[in-house]
Amino acid sequence: MVPVLDLEIGGGEFVTMAGPCSVETEFQLMATANHVRRAGARILRGGAFKPRSSPYSFQGHGLEGLKMLAHARQETGLAIVTEVMSEEDVPLVAEYADILQIGSRNMENYALLEAAARSGRPILLKRGMVATIADMLCSAQVVLDNGNPNIILCERGIRTFETALRNTFDVAAIALIKQVSHLPIIADPSHAAGASDLVPALARIAVAAGADGMIVEVHPNPENAWSDGEQSLDFAEFDELMESIEPLLALRGPAQCERKLARRGVAVGSRQAAGFRALEAVG
């Protein structure tokens, strides 16, 4: 279980991280943070340092972006996850973020992993786009070896011969990790799909596979997003997604149900009783 502020990732509650690909403006970030919080997200995502495939693309606001994220946490209470791209930036990003994201392109950057691990912040380790499951676990081991047990793995799709989607969502990796590792694993249906209309289906598949949470890109106006607009959900689409995973979450068992009922103000007795009640509620 990875503690983050008042949350535990891998502790039974399915944790949703949501927010824009990149932090763009104060308005964009605050509107998104307020919306995703109301819809049930517990953690706000947003890139301040962006690893872009093209050097001509927006590279992120850096420190200004981190400050906007910290402001959003102050206003909403949401924890913050944001990417750190270089060893030198670790102290700065760790000052502002609750979780340090290691991006797909950096999964095997061991110097970065070591520095990030030593910051003491929980690490969201995204699977490299050409990394095997064993490669990902080796990278996690580097973080562990540097004194940091708080690692959240993330399946975000891999490159295969298939080109119809941005990446191939390796959902079996989620099921396998649940068997072979004690670490929590979340899904990133946004980067796996690359297209917003496929994100909800991939999210539901991830829930069914046993993911401990998900990280989803949401934007007030995806058409005008500065990065990854084609895969970002607008607010209504995010609401629909959150609703559509509920019955699947209820099927997963008591712990999830208990928390959900507690949030709705329903008094709960034993975990099991709560689970059964939630199952009854969804028929």
Residues that bind Mn ion (CB under 5 A): 21, 228
Q: Is the dihedral of CA 154, 9, 200, 27 positive or negative?
A: negative
Spell out the alpha helix ranges (H) of the chain.
26-38, 63-76, 90-96, 110-118, 133-145, 171-180, 189-193, 199-209, 235-251, 254-263, 271-281
The nearer residue to ligand PEP, 103 or 213, going by C-beta atoms, is 103
Which of Mn ion, ligand PEP, none interacts with 13 (beta carbon under 5 to 8 A by kind)? Answer: none
The nearer residue to ligand PEP, 126 or 260, going by C-beta atoms, is 126
219 touching ligand PEP, by CB under 6 A: no
> Roughly what angle, to the nearest 10 degrees, separates helices 63-76 and 26-38?
40
CB 234 within 8 A of CB 199: no
Q: How far is the CB of 270 from ligand PEP (least distance, A)?
A: 39
The nearer residue to ligand PEP, 53 or 179, going by C-beta atoms, is 53
The nearer residue to ligand PEP, 155 or 258, going by C-beta atoms, is 155
65 touching ligand PEP, by CB under 6 A: no
189 touching ligand PEP, by CB under 6 A: no
Pairing mode, strands 2-4 and 7-9: antiparallel
Q: Which of 79, 59, 108 is nearest to 19 (CA)?
A: 79
Q: How far is the CB of 90 from ligand PEP (least distance, A)?
A: 17
Pairing mode, strands 7-9 and 123-126: unpaired
The nearer residue to ligand PEP, 10 or 157, going by C-beta atoms, is 157
The nearer residue to Mn ion, 37 or 50, going by C-beta atoms, is 50
Rounded to the nearest angstrom, the gap between the alpha carbon of residue 27 and the centroid of all alpha carbons in its chain is 22
Q: Which of 206, 229, 98 is nearest to 155 (CA)?
A: 206
CB 52 within 8 A of CB 61: no
Binding mask 139-178 for ligand PEP (x = CB under 6 A): -----------------x----------------------
Contacts of 240 by beta carbon, 8 Å cutoff, 6+ apart: 200
Please give the residues from 97 up to 136 whose contact with ligand PEP meets the rule CB under 6 A: 103-105, 126
Which of Mn ion, ligand PEP, none interacts with 112 (beta carbon under 5 to 8 A by kind)? Answer: none
Q: How far is the CB of 232 from Mn ion (least distance, A)?
A: 8
The nearer residue to ligand PEP, 238 or 258, going by C-beta atoms, is 238
Structure tokens at 97: 């973020």
- CB neighbours of residue 146 within 10 Å: 16
Pairing mode, strands 2-4 and 79-83: unpaired
Q: Which of 42, 191, 219, 259 binds ligand PEP (CB under 6 A)?
A: 191
Structure tokens at 245: 């995973």
Please give the residues from 16 up to 45 whose contact with ligand PEP meets the rule CB under 6 A: 21
Residue nearest to ligand PEP (CB): 103
86 touching ligand PEP, by CB under 6 A: no
213 touching ligand PEP, by CB under 6 A: no
Q: Which residues make up the interface to ligand PEP (CB under 6 A)?
A: 21, 47, 51, 103-105, 126, 156, 188, 191
